[in-house]
A = this chain, B = another copy of it.
Amino acid sequence: MRILLLALLAAGQCSLAADDRVLGFDEAASNAQRNIESRLDASIDKNEMDQWLRRMSAKPHHAGSAAGKENAEFIASLFESWGYDVEIAEYEILLPTPKVREVELVAPTQFSASLTEDSLAEDPSTSVREELLPPYNAFSIDGEVEGELVFVNYGRLEDYEILDRYGISVEGKIAIAKYGMSWRGIKPKLAGEKGAIGTILYSDPADDGYGAGDPYPKGAFKHESGIQRGSVMDMPTYPGDVLTPGRGATRNAKRLKQEDAITITRIPVLPISHKDALPLLSAMDGEVVPPDWRGALPITYHFGPGPARVRMKAEFNWNMVTAYNVIARLEGSEYPDEWVIRGNHHDGWNHGAADPLSGLITMLAEAKAVAALANAGERPKRTVIYAAWDAEEPGLIGSTEWAEHHAKELKKHAVAYLNTDGTSRGFIGIGGSHVLERFFNQIIEEVKDPRSEISLKQRLQASLKINAESDQEKKDAAERADIRLDPMGSGSDYTPFLQHLGIASAKLGFGGEAAGGSYHTLYDTYEHFTTWNDPGLVYGETLPKVTGRATLRLANAQRLPFEFLGLADNIALYVSELEELADTMREATAKTNELIDSGAWAAALDPNKSLGAPARHEPVPHFGFAPLKNALERLQTAATAYDAAAKTSTVTSEEINNLLYTSERLLTRDEGLDGRPWYKHHIYAPGFYTGYGVKTIPGVREAIEQREYEKVEPQIEIAAGVLNNMAERIEQVTSLID
């Protein structure tokens, strides 16, 4: 079935290549739209973008800061000056800031971590420290603990499996974990579940520091004193204000008591620099960690526990602060009740030049250009809403509160949500709802890479061809006409729209050619960004051409450019992955059990080491995937029929468009996911134990991964249900246009 589908896709592309229309537009409308887009391109002014970047990154501007409010007001004034209806939507949110931060080695030697980042003569911004929040992890609980250190690698589930094999527990200990390989909030969450009393996070120089590349200011990588800040709120349970899950945090909203907010960590967490980590890790002993656990500090890495003993104390001001979302609206000329929403947050942990301002300035450039077109008579047909979110960093709070607050209207009116955040240089990266896969592929076929004469898509395809590793990647690179959108987990403001409300969403940005370590440190400055990330804003100037096309095509399309072959093909991939996951786990479990039972493990283990055999698990049963596969087949058939009809038919109506843009809602269920009802989407979710990392068809996938065998088939039924609903909707739309 996959091959058939790919052939269709290929055929589809050929016909689109021959037929030069913009998806969702007839020939005349396509010409008009492309004319508008040329004018949009011409009005992007990177000098102005650079001025905005410089201005808004001049000072630390986290949520709750005076500079953050100033930036919100500046953004609002820009939108107003361009002709938007602007509102600053305020929410009252709980936002802890540090009061006491102490990390102290108390045995076998004494050392106090500095927990501060150095100002650098080479980068004047790093001396602008007014309102600077020192390094901390937002939504760590208050606490003072003392205990032996245990090194837990990246603090993931698989790392604890290794610790178990060595007979090492974090129970009553302080876990020290490297940043990376999972979302940071997972590290204290898992350590807490395993009985640790505290967690220390640091970036190992192998991953981000001199081991990865020259440190700032000589290069882009983490300075030895650099510390990644960041939220450790349990966002895979729910993001946003911890006191108002599912509700907008308006002034008078009903709130949880703080002690009932389950997304605050259960143990204290503090981040430190690798310079501060060195004395702690040097003082550890016990068995030497496996090769893939080792970092680039000039020491032998040991598991512990101890003898290094650490006292850590974390206390926070648990303040209520106001988050300022700037909401700028341009009423649609023909369909004002159909909203295209475009967002980027404005709060930064520090100066935030890369994160989020590099993305924000591209949204502002786009918005200015769209307004200029409107003022010149080319007002978008649908309503366009630009949102500059506040308080994204502590937990997607600004966007989540607004989305929760306006949930009912949004479910009714929102056509799509398009997100940007920090952007850099290299290759276009697009993640999102697969109903928009063909739509975005067409756009990147039409925008040129700024440093070559080929399209963004051609450059990305070249890269995929060269870097393909798995069989699937090789097959895709060789055969697939369209580039797959990355399925979205979490990590930016699309989450409430996509996963809570079922609004088709996407994220866009450039990357891949500017590795570095300014992320969430004092060194995320204008100087760093313009030296190492995107000097000259070469790609910054290109991004609004992509996102502007996306916004305006969604706003102006005669029939909305939703398409279902890409969705069906990606779902087919996920279903095959799930079957393979079950098969692989079944075989690996059987193999491991056999090697344990036959005595092979006991025979082969080194008697001088404490490393034991892997854990024995219950055999993995065979699961009935048939409901999912039947639903998939129906989806594929429906998508194929819609595609055939859509190619020839120009029929459209408000009803058809409404049925199209609300189709993504059908992939959600009001009950949400098992154990985390805030997450409604049943195709895309952040992993409960990976954080940002996506789990596709999460109900089924996580039940298998977590060996909750009895949950798998009920989850298969549920997933099949949402796919059948989607198929039915596609059939309905097809019958209307055919």
Contacts and interface: CB of A to CB of B under 8 A. Distances in A.
Interface string A498-515: 000000000000000100
A300 B604 contact: no
Nearest to A449: B603
B288 A462 contact: no
A294 interface: yes
A737 interface: no
A466 interface: yes
A288 B213 contact: yes
Interface stretch (A81-89, A593-601, A646-654): A593-601
B458 A603 contact: yes
A609 B297 CA distance: 27
Nearest to A426: B606
B466 A601 contact: yes
Given A454-B603, A513-B606, A595-B465, A298 B296 contact: yes
B210 A299 contact: yes
A298 B454 contact: no
A451 B205 contact: no
Contacts of A513: 606-609
A463 interface: yes
Contacts of A458: 603
A604 to B, nearest CB: 4
Nearest to A299: B210
A219 B297 CA distance: 18
A235 B211 CA distance: 36
A604 B296 contact: no
Interface in A197-251: 205-206, 210-215, 219, 221
A463 B298 contact: no
A210 B603 contact: no
Interface size, A (range):
35 or more
A298 B210 contact: yes
Interface in A576-613: 595, 599-601, 603-604, 606-609
Contacts of A288: 213-214, 219
Interface in A263-300: 288, 291, 294, 296-300
A582 to B, nearest CB: 21
Given A211-B294, A214-B288, A462 B601 contact: yes
A142 to B, nearest CB: 35
A384 to B, nearest CB: 34
Interface string A425-460: 010000000000000000000000001101000110
Contact of A462 (B215, B297, B461, B600): B600
Contacts of A426: 606
A133 B459 CA distance: 58
B298 A600 contact: no
Given A288-B213, A466-B595, A595-B466, A459 B298 contact: no
A220 to B, nearest CB: 10
B607 A466 contact: no
Contacts of A300: 210-215, 219, 221
Nearest to A599: B462
Identical copies of this chain, number: 2
Given A210-B300, A296-B296, A300-B210, A604 B463 contact: yes
Interface in A617-658: none
A451 B603 CA distance: 10
Contacts of A210: 298-300
A592 to B, nearest CB: 9
Contact of A466 (B211, B215, B291, B604): B604
B459 A603 contact: yes
A481 to B, nearest CB: 16
A674 to B, nearest CB: 35
Interface in A558-585: none
A465 B299 contact: no
Interface in A444-499: 451-452, 454, 458-459, 461-463, 465-467
A212 B289 CA distance: 9
B214 A604 contact: no
Nearest to A601: B466
A494 B458 CA distance: 57
A290 to B, nearest CB: 11
A595 B468 CA distance: 12
A213 B609 CA distance: 13
A516 to B, nearest CB: 12
A521 B451 CA distance: 53
Contacts of A452: 603
Contacts of A205: 298
A288 B466 CA distance: 21
Contacts of A296: 294, 296, 298
Nearest to A214: B300
Contacts of A467: 604
A313 to B, nearest CB: 29
A511 to B, nearest CB: 12
Nearest to A274: B298
Contacts of A294: 206, 211, 296
A214 B294 CA distance: 13
Contacts of A466: 595, 600-601, 604
Highest count of chain B CB atoms <10 Å: which of A294, A296, A299: A296
Interface in A524-563: none
A319 to B, nearest CB: 40
A458 B298 CA distance: 39
Highest count of chain B CB atoms <10 Å: which of A206, A212, A458, A466: A466
Interface string A696-717: 0000000000000000000000
A599 B449 CA distance: 15
Given A210-B300, A213-B288, 15 more contacts: A211-B294, A212-B291, A219-B288, A219-B300, A451-B607, A454-B603, A461-B600, A462-B599, A463-B603, A465-B600, A466-B600, A467-B604, A513-B607, A513-B608, A513-B609
18 contacts: A205-B298, A210-B299, A212-B291, A212-B300, A214-B288, A215-B300, A296-B298, A426-B606, A454-B603, A459-B603, A459-B604, A462-B600, A462-B603, A463-B603, A465-B600, A465-B604, A513-B606, A513-B607
3 A-B pairs with least C-beta separation:
A462-B603, A462-B600, A462-B604
